[in-house]
Chains A and B, each alone.
Chain A
Amino acid sequence: MKKILYVLDKLALILLALIFVFPFVWMVSTSFKSLQEVLIFPPKWIPDKLMFQNFVKAWSSGPFVTYFINSVLVSVSILALQFATMVPAAYAFARYKFKGYKLVFGITIAALMIPPQITFLPVYLQMSAWSALKTHIPLIIPFGASAFGIFLLRQSFMQVPDEIIEAAKLDDASEWKIMWNIMVPMARPVFITFGLFSFIYHWNDYFWPLVMTNSEAIRTLPIGIAMLKDAEGGINWNIVMAGNMILVAPILLVFFFARRQIIKAFVYSGIK
């Protein structure tokens, strides 16, 4: 009886994993098929001939080099700005009691609560008024500070023992030096965690770039991939899935190698 339960448990586990893995296998399979093969029902899992040209076709159906460069530029710039703004803010929240602390902290909490899906329209209009819509500014600047990042980092700054800071002060280290040479290196795990979180989030983001861009020159990969669906009448699923692979593969590959770190980055926010 115990043995049967053991086997059943393992079988159920594998079935569960398959439910989550099969869609990706199906994507890979489709991306290598010819259009005729895509339309065979019931479907084949392994195509007769691997159509590598699907990828070339997907990639050359639009300015994908530009999309790719934009994606890198946007996610990296956001991350750099966020790091630059979160270090001093988190330091101030962790180490100072100042007048208006509650108000400033309250605004930060509000920023954490208000999602971009609520503010997109007014921000878009503002960007339009500044004639910034044809630039990368609307994709980057609104995310220049991350309330979530500030909270994480503040938490870690508060855990630095007072003795270390006192010792540094005795050595005549300036506030600036304490922040950058002592606190920041000690918070390295938080930077890695937050960095992964932020990069993956903005690399994947579809909503904001869709809303804020109306010229190909500043569009990012997710927009380009989604547009494959509407290109040429009728959906060429093999091409769309080949494009999808271009977007999914890098993240899945990174996930495969840095699974623990990435899960930690995303789950961290949930554990108090």
Chain B
Amino acid sequence: MIRLSKLKPYVMVAPALSFFLMFFIYPIFYMIRLSVTSWNFISPQKEFIGFNNYIELFTSEEFYQVLYNTLIYTVLTVGFSLVLAVLLALWLNKQGTLYNIVQGAIFSPYIISLVSVALLWLWMMDPQYGLLNVVLELMGLPKSLWLTHPNTALFSLVIVGVWKVLGYNTLIVMAGLQSIPKDIYEAAELDESNKWTTFYKITLPMLSPTIFFLLIVSTISSFQVFDTVQVMTQGGPINSTNMLVYYIFQYGFDFFKIGYASAAGVVLLVIVGIMTIFHFMFLSKHVYYR
């Protein structure tokens, strides 16, 4: 007979585990299964069509455009928000009321609903009456069409993405800075190392676990951009801001091509999965852990 106390841990993890299985693990398998069918949501039969959805995806110019948009958005958003965060953190990592206020100010967008942020920037980027064109005009620059022109729309979304997440990244980097032991800097000072060398040889390597963490988190979350696309552009103009999650949403809920949308979902899953593994395997080699 099994002793009752042996069962205890299983009983304890069972509730949480059943949620995970039901809403994370099972849906993944269900999605993979749907991706090889031509289901339209209405017909009772889910007809098996093999890899046809995938073939359709990868021969569709629209899908490549979407992948390209997502990639550009991610590279730019992650790049800007990381580089700026390191610079800001080095600057703001001081004690004082003003520094505290500024830290709070740059963090505040992070806790605001993305739909509010999107509405706010949609209004600021209004080509006729928006605030941003006033600023451009004040600086003697030509007005921009922002979200209404295919050349500037994606970059406008990048601005919103960076503005939203910069404060979070900065505070994480600051936390990383604070964990660097002071005696290393004292030793560097004794060696009369100049500021740039100290930054390059000490600060940056010691920060690498933090930057590595942020790189993973922000890349994965940038790949899932949706709210700003849905509220600000709906993928337009001429598909210039359509990105993966929005594309899946469109094909699932507007066109009812469930199989096709699921195949795109599997592609997103694979990309996120590969990125996670890639980061862990390759980048971690260049990260200095203490």
Contact = CB atoms under 8 A, between A and B. Distances in A.
Contact of B19 (A24, A144, A247, A267): A144
A86 B16 contact: yes
Interface in B170-184: 171-172, 175, 179
A147 interface: yes
Interface in B64-107: 88, 92, 98-99, 101-107
B34 A122 contact: yes
B175 A270 contact: yes
A165 interface: no
A226 B116 CA distance: 8
Contacts of A118: 28, 31, 224, 265, 268-269, 272
A41 B129 contact: yes
A96 B8 CA distance: 9
Interface string B209-238: 110011001001100101100110000000
Contact of A266 (B110, B124, B249, B276): B110
A64 to B, nearest CB: 15
Given A207-B226, A229-B231, A21 B20 contact: no
Given A41-B128, A226-B115, A17 B101 contact: yes
B134 A125 contact: no
Interface residues of A, number: 85
B105 A104 contact: no
Given A203-B113, A267-B171, A23 B23 contact: no
- Which interface class (under 10, 10 to 19, 20 to 34, 35 or more) fits B? 35 or more
B20 A145 contact: yes
Interface string B261-277: 11001001100100010
Given A98-B9, A145-B15, A247-B116, A30 B123 contact: yes
A226 B23 CA distance: 27
Main SS class of interface, B:
helix
B15 to A, nearest CB: 4
B110 to A, nearest CB: 7
B46 to A, nearest CB: 10
B161 interface: no
A213 B40 CA distance: 19
Contact of A121 (B115, B121, B231, B261): B261
Interface of A: 10, 13-14, 16-17, 20-24, 26-27, 30, 38-43, 84-86, 88-89, 91-93, 96, 98, 100-101, 104, 107-108, 110-111, 113-115, 117-126, 141-142, 144-145, 147, 150, 175, 200, 203-207, 210-211, 222, 225-226, 229, 237, 240-241, 244, 247-248, 251-252, 255, 259, 262-263, 266-267, 270-272
12 contacts: A17-B101, A26-B131, A107-B17, A111-B20, A115-B272, A145-B19, A200-B111, A225-B116, A226-B119, A229-B119, A237-B123, A255-B111
